[in-house]
Chain A
Amino acid sequence: LWLLTTRSLVQIQPKEPLIKITYVFFFKSCFCDAATPWQFGLQDPATPIAEGIIKFHHELIFILVFVVVFVSWMLFRILVRFNIEVHPKPTDVVHGTTIEIIWTLIPAFILMVIAVPSFALLYSVDEAVDPAVTLKIVGHQWYWSYEYADYQTEDGDFIMFDSYMLPEDELSLGDLRLLEVDNRVVLPVDTHIRLVVTSADVLHCWTIPSFGVKMDACPGRLNEASLFIQREGVFYGQCSEICGVNHGFMPIAVEALSLEDYIIWVSTQLEDVLF
């Protein structure tokens, strides 16, 4: 019931009939690709990076819970056993070489254990792969603009558009407040994509939690990030670097389509550019 109420806001469009039937008859579920009210966990992953982040988060939380329980237990026991009423004369021990060595080495060892999956994820995110698509993202106050310069007309014109947040009075039923935009970014699935993020004025940050992508848009910098979307759907994010009065009102919406649908979209857009 909790799943249905919190996650029913996000619609999915499964194309394969078997999956569609499964969703309709067996369980009504959606991928959590947008922020939902009272959300406690991370959004559902759509890229290998996001899956890696969630996996690392699980590994880290296990260790953190252990540390929190241990420290809380020690604190509680000390407060109960060594308060002034129960234990009026405090001890005068000032040294304890063995225990000091133990409580230095064990945390160091825990940190080394944490470092192993952390570095594995960090280096795998930086894997060098030749991209097939480049998307240029420019942050402005207070909207995003996108350029698809891989596909040009004979005059050198290419697909460029601005993406503004839809104000509340323009939302349709089922739309997400503060997340919907007038022109979504369209990208293909199962394709290596290069994102080039920059800004035309102040610092912004292009974020999509489901993709595990967060890249600062700095004026004078072309920050590169890589993306490999593994499933179709609509994914939302919000600007993540304070940029003025409408910082909370310049969201990002990405529509991931199959390669065929993406090519059809590009052709349609190019025709509009031509005419």
Chain B
Amino acid sequence: SSTPSRKMSEIELKTTPRDPRFPNTNQWQHCWTRYNEWVLCLKRTGLDEDACKQQRKFATALCPAEAVEKWDEQRENGCFAGVQVDE
């Protein structure tokens, strides 16, 4: 059918690249930095989510879903410990 072939052409083998700032085995800092880079992008573009899709993808590819959900909730509740965005 056409749907799988359409999806296949959209699937590209791309993931969060290595960050030489975080060479160690424990990648928590890397994950936290990627998420904050997305929030920074939102801040810079005036909360334009489409423009920050790449950063969001990099953050969600690396960070556990539980952590991303927790931080998203914290941002909504205004108790996020990272980059602050004034809405």
* Complex interface: chain A residues within 8 A of B15 (CB): 131-134, 150, 194
B11 touches A266 (CB 8 A): yes
Chain A residue total in the interface (Cβ 8 A): 37
The CA-CA distance from A133 to B17 in the complex, in Å, is: 10
The CA-CA distance from A252 to B6 in the complex, in Å, is: 32
A-B contact pairs, 6 of them (CB 8 A): A132-B15, A149-B62, A150-B61, A152-B60, A156-B60, A191-B13
Residue pairs across A and B with CB atoms within 8 Å: the count is 85
Chain B interface size range: 20 to 34
Residue from the list B7, B57, B64 in contact with A147, Cβ < 8 A: B64
Nearest-CB residue, chain A, relative to B20: A128
Contact A221 to B26, CB < 8 A, known contacts A149-B61, A156-B60, A268-B4: yes
* Binary per-residue interface labels of chain A (180-213) against chain B in the complex, 1 for a CB within 8 Å, 0 otherwise: 0000000010010010101010000000000000
The chain B residues found within 8 Å of chain A, CB to CB, are 3-4, 7-8, 11, 13-18, 20, 23, 25-28, 30-31, 56-57, 60-66
B28 touches A267 (CB 8 A): no
| The 3 nearest A-B residue pairs measured at CB | A267-B7, A134-B15, A132-B13
* Complex interface: chain A residues within 8 A of B17 (CB): 130-131
The CA-CA distance from A198 to B57 in the complex, in Å, is: 19
Expressed in whole angstroms, the minimum distance between the Cβ of A122 and any Cβ of chain B is 13
* Binary per-residue interface labels of chain A (120-139) against chain B in the complex, 1 for a CB within 8 Å, 0 otherwise: 00000000111111101010
The CA-CA distance from A220 to B25 in the complex, in Å, is: 13
